[in-house]
Structure 1
Amino acid sequence: MAKKVLVPPMKSQGIKTKLVPWIESLVPEDFSGRWIEPFMGTGVVAFNIAPRKALMCDTNPHIINFYSAIQSGEITPDIARKFLEKEGAILLEKGDEHYYHIRDRFNEEHAPLDFLFVNRAGFNGMIRFNRKGGFNIPFCKKPNRFAKAYVTKIVNQISTISQILGTKDFDFKCQSFEETINEAKAGDIIYCDPPYIDRHVDYFNSWDEEHEIGLFDSLSESACDFILSTWHHNDFRKNEYIESHWSKFNILTREHFYHVGGSEKNRNPIVEAIVTTIDTKEYKYKEPETQEQLTLLEPTLHYGRA
């Protein structure tokens, strides 16, 4: 049976939606500790694994605020539908003028629903901020962006996340990866999806050699297992940090295609890598033969491990 993968309401470049089954296959069936993500991004991995306890962190406060608002009930499916229908109707009438109005309002007030709006109406579903912390993605040039079916899709995604957060113990924090990793205890699993070194600038903060080595040191000293997503190589070059640092751990690879970039010529396949302390001898993940075998779940709820 095809793996059903929950799609979160927040979009981002480099989202791991199609890599979730690969990552989840490494999690022991009897895992009962806390799932910890120092770079939660859209939250797609944790929301699919759905552990009993999770610590979800990011240095981007707007992502933390958005999911915290769903958890607290500030954002409900009904509230989100009414907001998107209202602002979507104005967008259809005024076009990019209204998009930039909402973007300016978000940059001033930081409302979670405005963040959802600019995320879903911005170019290529990207999250990017300038050095002053302002969201700066241009309009996607689709005034009819929030058609009824699209709004329903987003609302269903919010409903699914709301159900998960209502039954699980998820803690959201805006803090550095060092602080997050320091909270880990034996029996926990840390999943890291940092910005890919030498590949793309992070959506909120920069990422360089100092950060990469700092992450390596923090994970090496941690008392629990970790799973790290990174890149191994592409047709033009390789990730030098695999050999210089991460090769001391278990490494798995597979090819993946990212739809990132303004034109197709900038969207190239790379060989993705998982670096982990988990024993891979019992690793039994079978790659789907076709994309159709990987089902992206939209309207209904999928729980991972209880």
Structure 2
Amino acid sequence: MTCNALKNPKQVKAKPFIKWAGGKSQLLEELINRVPKHFNRYFEPFLGGGALFFALRPVIAHLSDINPELINVYQVVRDNPDLLIEELSKHKYEKIYYYKIRNVDRYETFNNWSNTKRAARLIYLNKTCFNGLYRVNSRGEFNVPFGRHKNPTICDTENLIACSELLQSAEISVKSFELAVKDARADDFVYFDPPYAPLNKTSNFTGYSKNGFDEAMQVKLKETCVELNRKGVKFMLSNSSAAIVLELYKDFNVEFVKASRAINSNAAKRGKINEIIVRNYS
């Protein structure tokens, strides 16, 4: 296929229905300009908010993440949008209520919640927590405080329906990144957006899963990229400009881009920083 052989652009334009740390909405133009003009299947192993997927609208997509709660949301949006919308309509933006819903994952009864109810909970927390941040502790418990928002849209019905339509042909699964791309073949395209390597000891944010993403995982990811390159698979990867990342990918095409990062709780420390985009093609 080519990048023009995508879903019908006349449909309602689906956009990310969830905010994710390190989301690529503000870097989309830079990324889209570097997507190969021709590719077969699309793989995105660190799905997060899925900004590039929603922008590209690929016909054949393999979407995955190691976070089961996140993948459950995508599967529910694809398979049961009406039930999800109904469940979301029950939630309210109120501080005491927020902590009640947030803290249900501390109890065994949470395991009995339906997939739809769990999906609605995650979207609700994402829309009402501080800074739209997803973070869990070592026990896998969501621990982000209540956020101050002006009338947040907890349920964007039109967008959820549009996202559901776009996701109909997508394979969505819980997988580690290396397993997610194991079957990628020549002329497939993989986009990696891993938890970034920290620029310094205080900038590390890898709370996407209870296990984090350390230096050894960064090395493992690079080895996966080397194997994809050997098979003729095209890949593009985003990461910080940390020294370890520059060293790992020095044999590939590395470009610096400016990106705004708003994950810091101190607004004065938010701003544009250097990130890199790595590719094995020009």
Q: Percent identity?
A: 27
Q: Name the SS of the counterpart of 1:272 in structure 2.
A: strand
Q: Post-superposition shift, 1:262?
A: 1.2
Bigger Cα displacement from structure 2, 270-279 vs 198-207: 198-207
Task: Map residues 4-83 of structure 1 onto 2, 5 A cutoff.
Answer: 7-31=15-39, 33-72=40-79, 74-76=80-82, 79-83=83-87
| Separation in structure 2 between the aligned mates of residue 274 and residue 45 of structure 1, nearest angstrom | 14
- Structure 1 gaps, min length 5: 233-238, 280-306
Query: Do structure 1's residue 164 and structure 2's residue 172 form an aligned pair?
Result: no
| Separation in structure 1 between the aligned mates of residue 181 and residue 120 of structure 2, nearest angstrom | 29
Query: Do structure 1's residue 122 and structure 2's residue 129 form an aligned pair?
Result: yes
What's the Cα RMSD here? Answer: 2.1
Task: Map residues 1-306 of structure 1 onto 2, 5 A cutoff.
Answer: 7-31=15-39, 33-72=40-79, 74-76=80-82, 79-88=83-92, 91=93, 95-105=94-104, 108-109=110-111, 111-142=118-149, 145-146=151-152, 150-151=153-154, 154-166=156-168, 169-198=169-198, 199-202=203-206, 203-204=208-209, 205-222=211-228, 223=231, 224-232=233-241, 239-279=242-282
| Separation in structure 2 between the aligned mates of residue 240 and residue 221 of structure 1, nearest angstrom | 22
Bigger Cα displacement from structure 2, 40-49 vs 98-107: 98-107
Q: Post-superposition shift, 1:113?
A: 0.6
CA gap of 1:225–1:30, structure 2 versus 1, over 3 A, is: closer
Count, aligned residues = 254
Q: 8 Å contact 1:20–1:45 — kept in the other structure?
A: yes
Q: Post-superposition shift, 1:173?
A: 1.0
Q: Post-superposition shift, 1:44?
A: 1.3
TM-score (norm 2): 0.83
CA gap of 1:243–1:124, structure 2 versus 1, over 3 A, is: closer
Q: Post-superposition shift, 1:201?
A: 2.3
Q: 8 Å contact 1:69–1:75 — kept in the other structure?
A: yes
TM-score (norm 1): 0.77
| Separation in structure 2 between the aligned mates of residue 210 and residue 130 of structure 1, nearest angstrom | 20
Q: Post-superposition shift, 1:185?
A: 1.2
Write the deviation string for residues 159-210 of structure 1: whole angstroms up to 9, x where unpaired: 22112123xx210110111111212111111100001111432221311110
- Structure 2 gaps, min length 5: 1-12
Q: 8 Å contact 2:254–2:277 — kept in the other structure?
A: yes
**Equivalent AA in structure 2 for residue 190 of structure 1:** V
| Separation in structure 2 between the aligned mates of residue 182 and residue 175 of structure 1, nearest angstrom | 11
**Equivalent AA in structure 1 for residue 237 of structure 2:** L
| Separation in structure 1 between the aligned mates of residue 187 and residue 250 of structure 2, nearest angstrom | 23
Write the deviation string for residues 17-42 of structure 1: whole angstroms up to 9, x where unpaired: 011222122223332x1111111111
Write the deviation string for residues 225-273 of structure 1: whole angstroms up to 9, x where unpaired: 11000122xxxxxx11243221110012221111111121231321121
- 2:10 corresponds in structure 1 to none
**Equivalent AA in structure 2 for residue 213 of structure 1:** V
| Separation in structure 1 between the aligned mates of residue 173 and residue 151 of structure 2, nearest angstrom | 31
| Separation in structure 2 between the aligned mates of residue 96 and residue 229 of structure 1, nearest angstrom | 36
